[in-house]
Amino acid sequence: MAAARTLRIGLIPGDGIGREVIPAGRRILESLPASLNLKFSFVDLEAGYETFQKTGTALPDKTVDILKNECDGALFGAVSSPSTKVAGYSSPIVALRKKLDLYANVRPVKTTAGNSNGKPIDLVIVRENTEDLYVKEERTIDTPNGKVAEAIKRISEHASFRISKIAGEIALSRQNIRDAAGTSTRNQPMVTITHKSNVLSQTDGLFRETARRALAAEKFSSVFVEEQIVDSMVYKLFRQPEFYDVIVAPNLYGDILSDGAAALVGSLGLVPSANVGDGFAIGEPCHGSAPDIEGKGISNPIATIRSVALMLEFLGEMNAAAKIYAAVDGNLDAAQFLTPDMGGKATTQQVLEDVLKRL
């Protein structure tokens, strides 16, 4: 047997229930079947609001250095944001995305037969994470008729190309995982390009054109590529979510679509995400620090467990990812151990144990 691959994973629990769910993520990695020939080493790292209160910075340099120089990937829990603006505090995950050039935000939205009202949903939104209106170049001008505020919407060929390429790769990888699990409900992977180029012919026009070009590459020949104007995308996403596979979008549309899509599955406690760059991925549950349930031992670990799988996908470990997804689906379908957000009575620990048993 070939030597086991060892992956070094940074653990950043952050604040609130981040500290309850990240240990569950670690247990999942430690408990993967030996047949996968994968080993993990872990390093505990600090970031978040409590870190800010203790040290004056929400993202210590040490955390960034260790992630950059030692780690293959990371898990990020949640950070609480103060309700009023605190001088000097800014979100560490936003800073991390910049510092590590994690240019894609990937958010799968999935229901299983057991937790959907209609047809199962299984889609992923791939959001560009570095430009568009989020370059935050705004200005306000005083005019005789009052103030006028403007913002720059910047779309580059470079960023549009790499986000579309990663969307194509995700589509292929999802098809492989479906095929391996024998659960393929689609004949071919699909990518939907979202834009508003009928109005913004230059910015969104460039996004659309570049996405088309990226996805026309030979390696994506099995991928069906379609496009949707963003408003009609919202309509279809809510009317017919089961139709979609991979949706790629510029930053702002991606932001809105991701939160909207998360609402389709019920609990925030189910939805994972990954922040992805070239050769690095951080898995991160979509929920926040949930101060209302902190310390009660009832936070749903599924979003984190799915984030672990997502991180592994981007580190090239498809088989490990597929095993975790299957274990989670098993837990949800059996509906025996569910946390209160899902209408159950189980604790974080019981859900974790049930998923581990299915692994």
Contacts to ligand ATP by CB under 6 A: 17, 78, 80-81, 268-269, 287-293, 299-300, 303, 339, 341
Pairing mode of beta strands 274-277, 104-110? antiparallel
Of ligand ATP, Mg ion, none, which one sits near residue 300, judging by CB under 5 to 8 A according to partner kind? ligand ATP
Place of tokens 């689609």: 186
Of Mg ion, ligand ATP, none, which one sits near residue 291, judging by CB under 5 to 8 A according to partner kind? ligand ATP
Between CA 212 and CA 227 the distance in angstroms is 9
- C-beta closer to Mg ion: residue 114 or 288: 288
DSSP line for 278-291: TTEEEE--SS---T
- C-beta closer to ligand ATP: residue 229 or 256: 256
Shortest Å distance, C-beta 151 to ligand ATP? 25
- C-beta closer to ligand ATP: residue 63 or 299: 299
Shortest Å distance, C-beta 282 to ligand ATP? 17
Q: Which of 114, 260, 288, 340 binds Mg ion (CB under 5 A)?
A: 288
Shortest Å distance, C-beta 271 to Mg ion? 12
- C-beta closer to Mg ion: residue 6 or 90: 90
- CA–chain centroid gap for 284, Å, is 6
Place of tokens 């799915």: 306
Between CA 141 and CA 139 the distance in angstroms is 7
Shortest Å distance, C-beta 83 to ligand ATP? 8
- C-beta closer to ligand ATP: residue 81 or 184: 81
Q: For CA atoms 43, 328, 107, 160, give the dihedral sign.
A: positive
By CB under 5 A, which span of 6-14, 162-170, 286-294, 310-318 interacts with Mg ion? Answer: 286-294
Neighbouring residues of 146: CB distance < 8 A, sequence distance ≥ 6: none
Of Mg ion, ligand ATP, none, which one sits near residue 347, judging by CB under 5 to 8 A according to partner kind? none
Which residue's Cβ has the minimum distance to ligand ATP? Answer: 288
DSSP line for 67-92: HHHH-SEEEEEE----SS--TT---H
Pairing mode of beta strands 274-277, 280-283? antiparallel
Residues 150/141, Cβ–Cβ less than 8 Å: yes
Shortest Å distance, C-beta 301 to ligand ATP? 7
C-alpha distances in Å from residue 99, one per residue of 73, 284, 353: 14, 17, 36
Shortest Å distance, C-beta 307 to Mg ion? 16
The three-state secondary structure class of 345 is: coil
- C-beta closer to ligand ATP: residue 76 or 207: 76
Which phi and psi (to 5°) does residue 318 adopt? Answer: -65, -40
Of ligand ATP, Mg ion, none, which one sits near residue 109, judging by CB under 5 to 8 A according to partner kind? none
Backbone Cα Rg of the chain: 20
Of Mg ion, ligand ATP, none, which one sits near residue 349, judging by CB under 5 to 8 A according to partner kind? none
Shortest Å distance, C-beta 80 to Mg ion? 9
- C-beta closer to ligand ATP: residue 199 or 263: 263
From the list 53, 47, 26, the residue with the least C-alpha distance to 97 is: 47
Shortest Å distance, C-beta 181 to ligand ATP? 25
From the list 208, 207, 252, 205, the residue with the least C-alpha distance to 227 is: 208
Residues 48/14, Cβ–Cβ less than 8 Å: yes
By CB under 5 A, which span of 3-11, 140-148, 222-230, 281-289 interacts with Mg ion? Answer: 281-289
- C-beta closer to ligand ATP: residue 17 or 193: 17
Of ligand ATP, Mg ion, none, which one sits near residue 290, judging by CB under 5 to 8 A according to partner kind? ligand ATP
Contacting residues toward Mg ion, per CB under 5 A: 288
